[in-house]
Amino acid sequence: MSRRAAVLGHPISHSKSPALHAAAYAKLGVDIEYSAIDVTVDSLPSFMASLHGDDSWCGLSVTMPLKSAMVQEVDEIRGAGAHLGVINTVVFEYDGGLVRRVGYNTDVGGIVEAVRYAGVVSTPHAAILGGGGTAAAAVAAVQELGARQVDVFVRDAGRAGDAEAAAAAVGIAVTVRPLTEAATAVAGTDLVISTFPPRAGDSLADELSSLPGTGAGVLLDVAYDPWPSRLAEVWQGHGGAVVPGLEMLMYQAAEQIRRFSGCDVDAAVIDVMCDSVGLPRRVF
């Protein structure tokens, strides 16, 4: 029987996840049909209810704005997601006639692997732009990378709850700061992770462009359409290194593929995933 998996989010037509997953499953020789489904926060409960009784499903990828809402739709959360309260992966586990929906957060590992591949071994201080579900994963990721303190820049301090909760959960000091302070602050930071949606960082980029080049550190911009983002262009122009959001997406997808298929994702699979979205093949 063909199995099914999908990425859920709103909007979702821009997602590169179907290309990544399809390439991997073809290389692995497993029969999993992967699609993109537009689901809003309000429609998520009814969508999840519609899956009851359909044992063809093996997994769901979860993107904005559903990462917090999906927590209420699973039976159990394992790994980083359990203490972050934010998940981006649902695995369907079958035992006889029973199904258990298990949530995970593969964004944390995706961020860590993408940044490490760019050459960042560790960082004592980091900055995060945005305060939502992806920012929560970014907080956990920079803690894993050795950061002892993180600044979170948001337009509205009331929207930093996910990031603050994540910092408390992983034991890292966090300072929530207004976005109006970000330009001068991040210019001298070793590692900056932008969790803004596409184009939301353009005004910050314009502010940065007016500052003198400072030999900026590493920027991971999770937005990847359009690419390069205005923020990435300015950052690179200031002498900094840029990690495309596609790198994070590819690495977090690799862990999803392992869990959905039960197969090992080796270097050959990673290479075809890179090919599918225009990333360079890995050099290890």
Q: Look over the chain and give the mean of its residue pLDDT values, rounded to a whole number.
A: 94
User: How far is the C-alpha of 18 from the C-alpha of 29, rounded, in Å?
Assistant: 16
Tell me the mean pLDDT in the region 109-138: 92
pLDDT at 214: 60
User: How far is the C-alpha of 279 from the C-alpha of 117, rounded, in Å?
Assistant: 13
> Which of 83-97, 133-147, 204-218, 245-259 is the least confident region?
204-218
Tell me the mean pLDDT in the region 117-132: 90
pLDDT at 125: 87
Catalytic residues: 67
pLDDT at 284: 63
For 161-174, the pLDDT digits (tens) are 999 999 999 999 99
pTM: 0.94
pLDDT at 96: 85
For 227-254, the pLDDT digits (tens) are 999 999 999 998 899 999 999 999 999 9
Tell me the mean pLDDT in the region 111-121: 92
Tell me the CB-side half-sphere exposure of residue 217, using CA atoms within 13 A: 21
Tell me the mean pLDDT in the region 98-103: 96
pLDDT at 99: 96
